[in-house]
Amino acid sequence: MINIDDHKKTGVQGRTSVDRLVGYDTDAALKKARGIKHPWYRCQALTSVGAVLQSAKDACAVLEEALSAANELEEPNRIVTVSSWPIHVLVERNLRDVKRDVEHLLEVISSEPHSLRRSDALLSLFGATFPNKVNRHRVLGG
């Protein structure tokens, strides 16, 4: 039986492995990232791959996978915080409009009962959207 700590440890190791591979073998890095079971680390690893893919279409597809992985988490602050990784790449590379993603994440974080966790997640989302004035202001208003 695998416990949550083993699950996290394996996820961290997988993400580290992806970070090593992504510079010279994106296909292997993507395969490894997709194999990470823990959604938090899978999201981060997929984002690392999406950030370096040359094709905007391929990068968007991998970053969509990353966002889907984030949505597998149960805690609102965790969903929003780790979603900020692929959102940042989408905004930084100007791959597509993230307005719908931002609206979704603002809705998710509105259910977070703990103000410090809500604020921390919003800070991550603010940082991810900062280069885009419209989305940045939407996060500030959220």
What is the per-residue pLDDT for 9? 82
Q: What percent of the chain has pLDDT above 70? A: 96
Neighbours of 78 (CB within 10 A): 18
DSSP letter string, 68-79: HHHTT-SSHHHH
51-65 per-position pLDDT tens digit: 999 999 999 999 999
What is the per-residue pLDDT for 16? 84
**Every domain of the chain and the residues it spans:** 1-65, 73-142
Rounded CA separation 128/96 (Å): 14
What is the per-residue pLDDT for 112? 94
- The pTM (predicted TM-score) of the whole model is 0.92
Q: What is the mean pLDDT of the chain?
A: 93
